[in-house]
Amino acid sequence: MSETKTDPRVLRTRKLIMDSFIELSEKKEFKDITVKDITTEAVINRATFYYHFQDIYDLLEKVLSEVLLINLDYSVYENSEINEEAFVSIFKAITNFQKSLSNRCHRGYEDTIARIIKEQLELIFYKMLVKQHSTDDEKALRVAAVILSWGIYGASVEWRRNSKTIAPEDFIKSAIPYITNGINFTSK
């Protein structure tokens, strides 16, 4: 709730850097983008880059996390408990996100991207679980979040591999009954 509001300078600078990176990544592949490119585009000093990010991989992570989070948060605010609707919209968010990535050619960073997606998913699911079950068994909820995140991410991998012709919502909907029944069974 009460986030200590951060210095407007850092907000500006971070946005400049991230936007410039996104801009550049529409023209070149990630491996061809240098820190100098980014700071030149953003018109900030190269040293300032390192004030905010550890290196260019750190930037990649944070940009991807944020882009993904924007999609996911939307799904969450629309329906703030884990139900069929939420599941479907989160799944669509993931597939959308991966589609936008494939346009930007981050080849060779699939593992990094996969990790980021799962991390963000886990965060989201955990938040929702806490809201839904106000238990204090934090660890159990964390594990549940891990399971859900890996599961839904795995589904997106599967979808991309075989079933791109099926609409994402139909693809995920077909499996949901089994999952949700399972969840209801164990938690009630």
Minimum Å distance from CB 43 to a second copy? Answer: 5
Question: In terms of CB distance, is 1 or 43 closer to a second copy?
Answer: 43
Q: Which residues of 30-56 are buried (b: 16+ CB within 10 A; e: fewer)?
A: beebebebbbebbebeeebbeebbeeb
Would you tell me the crossing angle of helices 110-132 and 56-78 to the nearest 10 degrees? 40
Kindly state the number of chain residues that form the binding site for DNA, as judged by CB under 7 A. Answer: 23
Q: Could you tell which of a second copy, DNA, none binds residue 69, using a CB distance below 5 to 8 A set by kind? A: none
- The reply on whether position 10 binds DNA by CB under 7 A is yes
Q: Report the nearest approach of a second copy to the CB of residue 52 (Å).
A: 15
Alpha carbon distances (Å) from 71 to 94, 99, 126 = 8, 13, 17
3-state class (DSSP) for residue 107: coil
Q: Which is nearer to DNA, 37 or 84 (CB)?
A: 37
- Which of 43, 103 has the CB closer to a second copy? 43
Sign of CA dihedral 114, 118, 120, 121: positive
- DSSP alpha helices (H): ranges in the chain? 8-25, 35-42, 46-52, 56-78, 84-104, 110-132, 138-162, 168-187
> According to the binding rule CB under 7 A, does residue 9 interact with DNA?
yes
Q: Report, in Å, the least distance between residue 109 CB and a second copy.
A: 30
Q: Taking the complex as a whole, how short is the minimal distance between the CB of residue 29 and DNA, in angstroms?
A: 13
Phi, psi dihedral angles at 164 (to 5 degrees): -60, -20
Which residues sit at the interface with a second copy, rule CB under 8 A? 8, 11-12, 43-45
Q: Does 12 bind DNA (CB under 7 A)?
A: yes
Nearest distance, CB of residue 14 and DNA, angstroms: 7
Residues in 19-78 at the binding interface with DNA, rule: CB under 7 A: 34-37, 43-48, 50-52, 54-56
